[in-house]
Amino acid sequence: MADNQKMWADLGMNLELHDMLCEVLPGAIGDVFMSQENRPAAMDYFDMVLADVHGLRPSELVEFRKNGGKVFGTFCAYVPDEVIFAAGGIATGLCAGSQFWVPGGERYLPANTCPLIKAMLGARFDRTCPFYRLADVYIGETTCDGKKKAYEILGTDVPLHVMDLPQMKREKDYHKWADEIKDLIKVVEETTGNKVTPEALAENIKKINAKRAALQRLYSLRWKENVPISGTDVLLISQIAYYDDPERFAAMVNKLCDELEQRVADGVNLAAGKKRILISGTPMAIPNWKLHNLVETSGGIVVCEETCTGTRYFENFVDESGTNLNEMVQNIANRYMSINCACFTPNTARFDDVVRLFKESKADGVIDVSLMFCQTYDIEGRGLEERCKAEGIPFLGIETDYTDNDAQQLKTRIGAFIEMLG
Amino acid sequence: MYRSLKGKGMYAQISPTPRELSVCCGVSLLVHGEDVDRIKEISEEENLAYLSISGLNNTFDNTRHKYG
């Protein structure tokens, strides 16, 4: 255990401040995860990753870098990991889901900025997250105005490349995104010193597709009449997906799914007597487990997340039939452009996704969650509510942040919503 | 140790090390107090290493709603 302290010190982290984070996390993990009953045994891998979240994977990245490897930090489901791994790099999500990092971010950003963006800057500038220290280059993207401006500040402290994500979905936008991916290839090639060959890209398209397939399998199992796993546990898995080794992660998710299939066959049902809830909206970066914990201690069970830490991350595969780099890049662009984020206009395809997922997951109601000051999702919530009403889908809209202050009020609202579902 | 205990049908839960025991965010095994003597025996028999076995009065409360 002393090794973690040394590793963090070697990474230039602020140990005193980081210790304060270590102080609160074990209690939160105990309350949210360990208190659950009848969990699948194969959650043990994900429990271990979480228990040593700032030790296990960071130590692997330290070893990787010692051997000359380059780590790329990402913030968004639109950044194509395939390209980074094809250049021999490692992509790792830079989580920003804790209130702990927010005050640090507020030193650089207006208070009325979304908590995810504030946490992003706080984690970097306060030097309290090893992943932020280990990433050699950050890959940003233009998914919202807040992020765009925050990247300008972040870029003063760390090498940063921003991908210009189109905000409409016309044919020329798909080609534009392919061009952005080609620019990313140049960046990863220059950083790693390795060429992205057609063979390597084809191999890594398959590798990341396999990870998507594992997550798709996991979701299809929780959509059964008998729900074999809690939404809180699935959220943790989706969060870990962003920074774990993709092949090991897919293997562990598939191992879990084998057990879940057996639990379904054995009649294990964590949804008995509970209402099935689909959560839509903004991403829930680790350790943001607030909404799932509130829903699942209020008579509900979360059966689907239409979020970036949910279906947006893994739905749709990259077409594997490309025979040269240009075709592969366009296929990658096509897959990522099929994600329906509120940064696009129009974005009614997202409403279609929610309605489809509501049916597929056999949900009883939708809770649409927007992080405070996330303008795009907040505004889009109105249209989603109208669409849900037209489809006869019970809907609750929530705006919240990472603080615990509104937990009891939210619990009252969520409890009333679940009660209303009958 | 986790695999050994689970293989014997004993309770063991991988969990973060409580702050009261370490400042390193390391991994611990949560075990039942009545199993501790047996676990010490198993560790000796199978040469399983651990730093310490400690008891705390902490409880898990899923309605505390404190998330860090």
Domain boundaries, chain B: 2-46
pLDDT at A181: 98
| CB-closest option in A28, A407, A411 to B68 | A28
Q: What burial letters (b/e) apply to A78-105, b meaning 16+ CB within 10 Å?
A: bbbbbbbbbbbbbbbbbbbbbbbbbebb
Residue B25 — pLDDT band, cuts 50, 70, 90? low
* Residue of chain A minimizing CA distance to B51: A1
> What is the block-wise mean pLDDT of chain A (422 residues), using blocks of 10 residues?
84 95 90 96 97 95 98 98 98 95 98 98 98 98 98 98 98 98 98 98 98 98 98 98 98 98 98 98 97 98 98 98 98 98 98 98 98 98 98 98 96 98 93
CA distance A348 to A28: 37
Here the ipTM equals 0.93
> Residue A161 forms beta bridges with which residues?
A139
State residue B67's pLDDT score.
83
pLDDT tens digits, one per residue of A210-247: 999 999 999 999 999 999 999 999 999 999 999 999 99
Give the chain B residue nearest A102 (alpha carbons). B68
CB contact under 8 A, A404 and B13: no
Distance from CA of B9 to the nearest CA of A (A): 12
Place of tokens 């889908």: A393
pLDDT(B36) > 90: yes
CB contact under 8 A, A22 and B60: no
The band of B24, judged by pLDDT with boundaries at 50, 70 and 90, is low
**Most B CBs within 10 Å, among A22, A39, A284, to test the B interface:** A22
Residue A408 CA to residue A405 CA, distance in Å, equals: 8
Interior/surface letters A145-168, b for 16+ CB within 10 angstroms, e for the rest: ebbeebbebbeeeeebbbbebbee
- Look at residue B21 in the predicted model and tell me its pLDDT: 80
Residues 6+ apart with CB under 8 A from A3: A55, A59
Please, are residues B1 and B11 in contact by the beta-carbon 8 Å criterion? no
Chain A environment of B17 (Cβ under 8 Å): 1, 26, 51
Helix (H, G, I), strand (E, B) or coil at A369: strand
At the second CATH level, the architecture of A2-40+55-195 is: 3-Layer(aba) Sandwich (3.40)
Instruction: Choose, out of A20, A21, A24, A47, the residue to mutate when testing the contact with B (most B CBs < 10 Å).
Output: A47
pLDDT for res A18: 94
pTM > 0.90: yes or no:
yes
pLDDT tens digits, A183-192 = 999 999 999 9
Q: Judge contact between A318 and A208, C-beta under 8 A.
A: yes
**What is the C-alpha end-to-end distance of chain A, expressed in Å?**
50
- State how far residue B7 is from chain A, nearest Cα, in angstroms: 12
In this complex, which of A36, A55, A404 lies closest to B67 when CB atoms are compared? Answer: A404
Positive/negative CA dihedral, A277, A282, A288, A294: negative
User: Are B23 and A22 an interchain contact pair (Cβ–Cβ within 8 Å)?
Assistant: yes
Q: Residue B22: pLDDT band by 50, 70, 90 thresholds?
A: confident
